[in-house]
A and B are shown apart, each in its own frame.
Chain A
Amino acid sequence: MSTTVKLASKPVAALDQRLTIGKLAKENLRKVFPDHWSFLLGEIALYSFIVLLLSGTFLTLFFKPTMTEVIYQGSYVPLRGVPMSEAYASTLNISFDVRGGLLVRQIHHWSALLFVASMAVHMFRVFFTGAFRRPREINWSIGGLLLLMGLAAGFTGYSLPDDLLSGTGLRIIEGIILSIPIVGSYLSFLVFGGAFPGDEIISRLYIAHVLLVPGAIMALVGAHLLILWYQKHTQWPGPGRTEQNVVGYPLFPVYTAKAGGFFFVVSGVIVLLSALIQINPVWFWGPYDPSQVSAGTQPDWYIGWLDGMLRIMPGWEIALFGIWTLSLNVLIPALVMPGVLTVVLLAYPAIERFATGDDREHHLLDRPRNNPTRTGIGVMAIVFYGLLWLGGGNDFVATIFQIPVNYITRFMQVAIFVLPPLAFVITRRIAIGLQRRDRERVEHGRETGVIRMTTDGEFYEEHEPISQYEAYALTAHPRPKIIEAEPRLDENGIKNPNYKKTKRQARLNRFYWDNTVDKPTQDQLHDEQEHAALDTDEHLEHELLPGGGHNPATATRHD
């Protein structure tokens, strides 16, 4: 027994007598986790959240969340003597008079950007590999909610310093609330404690930002991890990896060291970024003044797509019965579309289950190419998002490329309907092409790059069989399940109540697996390999035939 174990044995025994941790530890210390770089993306989100909690706690020790007016007397000379809210003054104080305060502010902002970004990329990973399928739909929904909560945390935090940018963001929120039919103006007065801007909003956002939202995130993260733990992690298909096992490294020591180390790497990178790259220099913007705004006003990156939608929406506003104003130009981009997209995001596992009829448990991931329609949908969503995001920066695009901003907006208004479907079609074709290549590789082997010429003058490339491990990995995915509609009438000529539903499902299913390349069957593979072998023999035979077409090319061959 090593000294470490001996030292720990007494307190551990004491804990065990009180909490039965022995059993827990025995079952979990050597729990196996599969290894792949893409499984780290969610970890980045978790670690940046921890950095957010730590840096945020530090900031609360100095930040004063009130809109009471003070005259700034701190050490930033250009703003001395300027009346401003205490929130803004204390933010300046953190930046200029607290040692490490600016660093921690930048750490907090950088990790917020990284938090949302890594959640989004993690979600792509889960989407493209089908890791959201049964039994993990619940965790997909929790993840979706976490992403929303991340946006809420980001926006409430962005508003707190009460500088010109954050105030402008709040003004836009007021405009959005006002657009809500019937109750909009009342809601706005409740939120802001009166007519905009009022003197309540900062302290209200503060409690949301430091308690409600992070509390909700913590609860959701806890549930997310517990479920992950309980269901065990997914893994890539491959030799020795089945739906019934998990292949990887034990939690203790390998994962403890790797994941623990990765936490330090992520936080180290965030701190280095904060040391070297300035972010949100609030002292440049000045205190909030509702009659001022700076050109090139931009939200944080994750809100950009919403702003983009507001920008490219045409100016539709209806006067209902000539008395009531319905601002579709605000309502649709700011409230309806985000709501619809959230529902689609949360409902996607159910939609796919309906289309594929696949309600089996999956622990092996899909390679994106083996599910061309899903992959197409994912890329379509990314292009849709990317266009809106670019639309949100149309003034920047205009300055960089010297194009009138109006052209960019007009382009986006068309592109948002054209480019995402185009991206879907192209991605699906590429995925199907990759599937063909996989099948070709399994059936005919690897291209060696060696070109041979037969004595007849025919050229061919030599193929070499691939290893059994690779061949298995390329054929380990499930086959598409084709759904047929149930007959319209049953054998007694009575209408089948399921007919309509199954017909819709069959149509969707046909679209879903359209042109998808299935892996070969045992017989097909056998035939193909035999055929390939025959071909090679035939070529060889030709080459070996004495005196058969002696042309110069064969004569100069060096092998």
Chain B
Amino acid sequence: MTTHSSDLEPIQAVGDPLPDPGLPPHEHRLTDTDPKAAKRVERQVAAMFGIATLASIGFLVAYVALPLDGDLNRLQLSNILLGLFLGLSLFLIGIGAIQWAKKLMPDVEMVQERHPLESSPEDQQGAIAAFEAGAEESGIGRRKLIRNSLLGAAALLPLPVVFLLGDLGPLTPPPPEVLAKTIWKKGTRVVNDVTFEPIKPSDLQVGQLVNAMPASYEELPEEAHTERLRVRASASVLLIRMERGEFTVPEGREGWDIDGILCYSKICTHVGCPISLYEQQTHNMLCPCHQSTFALAEGGKVVFGPARRSLPQLPLEVDAEGYLAAAAGFDQPVGPSYWQRLEVES
């Protein structure tokens, strides 16, 4: 034991009320004293290993006997049988081994000494001496020019590595501007997001809510899969019709509705889930992800939950053929907030 450290001193010996009586006498198990009991356990363990073997064979049989053919019941049966056989095989091997260890292997506790973890003073000094010798030979302390230029080179090395990641995504045009835009613009028809039919004001009953998309979405080619998903992630909207007087019109949004039909972004201003739970009584929309609740009758403002900003509203008009269309694009970025959202033009 080292002299310079208090570690591993018998901590509890100082002022301890009772001396350590040492390990209690070992108590024999039945299997230690009765050969019959030991034999019985041996048979038990062997039986478990035996059943495990059979279970593995059962797995093979189930695998071969139940080819999948699209029938869901058969799939379920296959899953249960394969799992039960494999699980049972594993489980029994485990239980057998543990029973063997607990009942038949010696259960006399062994004692081993611990050794102090700290090196001896000689070793510590030896290590310091070795390091000093090496450092001295390298001359890193004396040759300051080498040391400093190496530090400079090493300090800048991470930058090329970071810049290598620059093409992970397109940074031109600047993301804050890309995020601010949707494909809505003046004249874009509002279409049902399932049938893609254009919508006439008379199609909507009072209190009715329709999930909608810009008509220009349908014009995107099928192959533009990523682009289509992006439109779904940014340009999805809600149409709702309320009685006049049931809703308030915020300042500056006069004339954005058509006969009480209002259009809001469907993308939550918190972290971007599509808000989709509609409470007909209150005309509130609730986001199922974090329960931000938006009052569609009050300009889409937040009435509950972690979101801060109102749902952006899309001004509506009726086009020459009598269908609902956007009177302009969104006047602000839709979706979650980001640092530059107030700076960018949408």
Contacts and interface: CB of A to CB of B under 8 A. Distances in A.
Interface string B231-243: 0111010000000
B338 A247 contact: no
B140 interface: no
B20 A240 contact: yes
Nearest to B5: A361
Interface string B158-186: 00000001101111001110110000000
Nearest to B85: A275
Contacts of B175: 185-186, 188-189, 195
B111 A245 contact: yes
Nearest to B344: A185
Given A290-B274, A363-B114, A409-B291, A265 B343 contact: no
Contacts of A68: 225
Interface stretch (A206-214, A256-264, A534-542): A256-264
Contacts of A247: 23, 109-111
A246 B336 contact: no
Given A257-B100, A468-B18, A319 B342 contact: yes
Interface in B304-346: 304-309, 335-343
Interface string B248-290: 0000000000000000001000111110110000000000111
B339 A184 contact: yes
A305 B232 CA distance: 29
B150 interface: no
Interface residues of A, number: 137
Most chain A beta carbons < 10 A, residue from B8, B95, B101: B101
A243 B70 CA distance: 63
A99 interface: yes
B211 interface: yes
Contacts of B88: 268, 272
Interface stretch (B29-37, B76-84, B125-133): B76-84
Interface in A24-40: 30-32
B338 A184 contact: yes
Contact of B22 (A239, A268, A276, A409): A239
A522 interface: yes
Contacts of B174: 185-186
Contacts of B110: 30, 32, 247-250
Most chain B beta carbons < 10 A, residue from A30, A290, A292, A472: A290
A471 B21 CA distance: 10
Interface stretch (B60-68, B141-149, B201-209): B60-68
Contacts of B105: 253-254, 257
B85 to A, nearest CB: 9
Contacts, number: 379
B10 A260 contact: no
A218 interface: no
A195 to B, nearest CB: 5
Contact of B272 (A175, A199, A246, A257): A175
Interface residues of B, number: 110
A231 B117 contact: yes
Given A258-B102, A271-B90, A525 B18 contact: yes
B169 A290 contact: no
Interface of B: 6-12, 15-24, 63, 66-70, 75, 78-84, 86-98, 100-102, 105-107, 109-114, 116-117, 165-166, 168-171, 174-176, 178-179, 193, 211, 213, 225-226, 229-230, 232-234, 236, 266, 270-274, 276-277, 288-293, 302, 304-309, 335-343
Interface of A: 30-32, 67-69, 75-77, 83, 95-100, 102-103, 106, 135, 168, 171-172, 174-176, 178-186, 188-200, 231-232, 237, 239-240, 242-250, 253-255, 257-258, 260-272, 274-276, 288-297, 307, 310-317, 319, 322-327, 329-330, 333, 360-361, 363-364, 394-395, 405-406, 409, 442, 468-469, 471-472, 475-479, 519-522, 524-525
Given A98-B68, A472-B18, 18 more contacts: A172-B272, A175-B271, A185-B339, A191-B169, A197-B226, A200-B169, A257-B101, A262-B94, A265-B94, A268-B93, A271-B87, A275-B79, A275-B86, A291-B211, A317-B309, A322-B342, A329-B270, A361-B8
27 contacts: A31-B112, A99-B66, A106-B83, A174-B336, A175-B270, A183-B339, A195-B230, A195-B233, A197-B229, A199-B225, A200-B169, A240-B23, A243-B8, A246-B111, A257-B98, A258-B98, A258-B102, A275-B79, A275-B80, A275-B81, A275-B86, A290-B229, A315-B270, A323-B342, A326-B339, A395-B288, A406-B304
